[in-house]
Amino acid sequence: MILEGRMSQLNLLHSIPELRQKLFGRFWNPMLVTVIAGVLSSLYFGVTGTFWAVTGEFTRLAGHAMSWVGIDPHKLTYIEQIMHLEGSPVDRIDGWVVIGMFLGALMSVLLAGQFKLRLPKQKRRLVQGLIGGIVAGFGARLAMGCNLASFFTGIPQFSFHAWLFMLGMAGGTYIGVKLVLHPLLLGKPKLEKAAPGPRSFISSTPKIQPWLGLVVLVAAIVFVAVQIAGGHAKLGLAGLFGIAFGLLIQRGQICFTSAFRDLWITGRSSMAKALSVGIIAATLCTAVIISLGVPQKIMWASPGALIGGLLFGIGIVVAGGCETGWMYRAMEGQLQFVVVGIGNIIGAGVLAWGWDHWGLYDKLVAGSPKINLVSQWGWTGAILATLGLMLAFYAFASLWEKRVRYMAKRKGQAVLMKAGVGRKEMA
């Protein structure tokens, strides 16, 4: 019996690396990840009464930073009346979901053995990341949400402002691509010889990173359990959802920047199509939760939503990552994206200041309606319109990919024909 017990323990120890290899040996299918994230975001909405978002908490962090330098954030309408600045991040649902996202992404990185501190070879990328982060943070808060609150979870809320944001973001990313491909920002590429052999994320030799990943997992579970045991169930559950979101975005490499940027540069549509399917899943689940009595989050369908989306799109491409993208990349050790995150917080703070002092509310938001598609078109119309929008986006991404590939093929054939003519003339 003792021998059998020891044998079972050895088998368990041998199975752990195999399980880790299966789960973290490669990135997960982005289509599956976005569907799971869409369903979880709907459940998060049902449990907490708010949607999955991050830049609102970044704006509150900007408010805390203002108080450190002698500015009273409670005198700013945006921070006091819209963001409701109270307590610290550990006292807020949004604070816990952000903390959880960082922990979940870090845990995923460590379990995969992928953590490595890295600085961009071109140091000006740090400046570019900061500027892009500021523009993106400003635009996100002008539109009342980033790629999450005004797109991935905003559209399933049936808020028309999210449609305007999506249109602006698509145009902004296109402009952003034109900017980053300009020789001034593109720089001179440095070619390096690739390492031989197949690419593998996980080494077969034991390393400390997976053990640190387990430590992060245990610590995160303890934090969540303490909150729930202390009578703060919503905070604990927000942290738990955040861990799941962080794990998903890192394993699926979910970045809204790459979804649009890849379309405009290479025509690659896999991430864009994955997002459209994820939003469809979120829409269907959110509709059920709203029908059960959880109130929707409807924002102003204003010029600010469109312009904010445009600025956000430009900013995320210039910075190299959106809100979800920079969060998991920073946890991978890419220090450039820590700078992008700082820029997001600064940009959100600038918007909060300009809301009153520059009259941004009066010029771009005031008088605009909050359009609830369910109220306007009924449940059937709202659901069909939303699903139609996402299916149209899916079809556009597919057709755009075929177009880019066709144009590239035609261009390649033209180059070959021209080279052939040249050789014939030389002969």
Contact present, 194 and 100 (Cβ < 8 Å): no
CB atoms within 10 A of CB 294: 17
Other CB atoms within 10 A of residue 418 CB: 9
Quick one: pLDDT band at residue 406, thresholds 50, 70, 90?
Answer: confident
Which pLDDT score is estimated for 189? 53
- Give the pLDDT confidence score for residue 25 in this predicted structure: 81
pLDDT for residue 426 is more than 80? no
Instruction: Give the lowest-confidence range in 26-30, 151-155, 194-198.
Output: 194-198
Rounded average pLDDT over 43-55: 94
Residue 197 confidence (pLDDT)? 44
323, pLDDT greater than 60: yes
pLDDT: which is higher, 349 or 14: 349
What pLDDT score does 11 carry? 47
Q: What is the pLDDT of residue 410?
A: 77
Q: Residue-wise over 307-326: b if at least 16 C-beta within 10 A, else e?
A: bbbbbbbbbbbbbbbbbbbb
* pLDDT band at residue 15 using 50, 70 and 90 as cut-offs: low
pLDDT at 140: 96
Q: Are 254 and 64 in contact (CB under 8 A)?
A: no
Token output for 425: 């003339």
Q: What is the pLDDT of residues 189-205, one digit of tens each?
A: 554 554 444 444 444 44
Q: Give the percent of the chain with pLDDT over 90.
A: 72
Distance CA 361, CA 81 (A): 13
Instruction: Give the contacts of 71 (CB within 8 A, at least 6 positions apart).
Output: none
Strand-pairing partners, residue 372, are 159
Least confident of 35-39, 178-182, 309-313: 178-182
Q: What is the pLDDT of residue 411?
A: 76
Interval 354-369: pLDDT, tens: 999 999 999 999 999 9
Is the pLDDT assigned to residue 318 strictly greater than 60?
yes
Q: Integer distance in angstroms from the first to the last C-alpha of the chain?
A: 86
* pLDDT above 70 (res 422): no
Residue 107's pLDDT band, with cuts at 50, 70 and 90, is: very high
* 251-279: pLDDT as tens digits: 999 988 888 989 999 999 999 999 999 99
Q: Count other C-beta atoms under 10 Å from residue 371's C-beta.
A: 17
pLDDT tens for 208-255 read 999 999 999 999 889 889 988 999 999 999 999 999 999 999 999 998
Of the chain, the percentage scoring pLDDT greater than 70 comes to 88
Spell 174-207 as b/e; 16+ CB within 10 A means b. Answer: bbbbeebeeeeeeeeeeeeeeeeeeeeebeeeee
pLDDT at 104: 96
What average pLDDT does the structure give for the chain?
88
Summarize pLDDT for 275-305 with one digit per residue, the tens: 999 999 999 999 999 999 999 999 999 999 9
Tell me what pLDDT residue 20 has: 76
Per-residue pLDDT averaged across 135-146, rounded?
96
- The pLDDT score that the predictor gives to residue 182 is 81
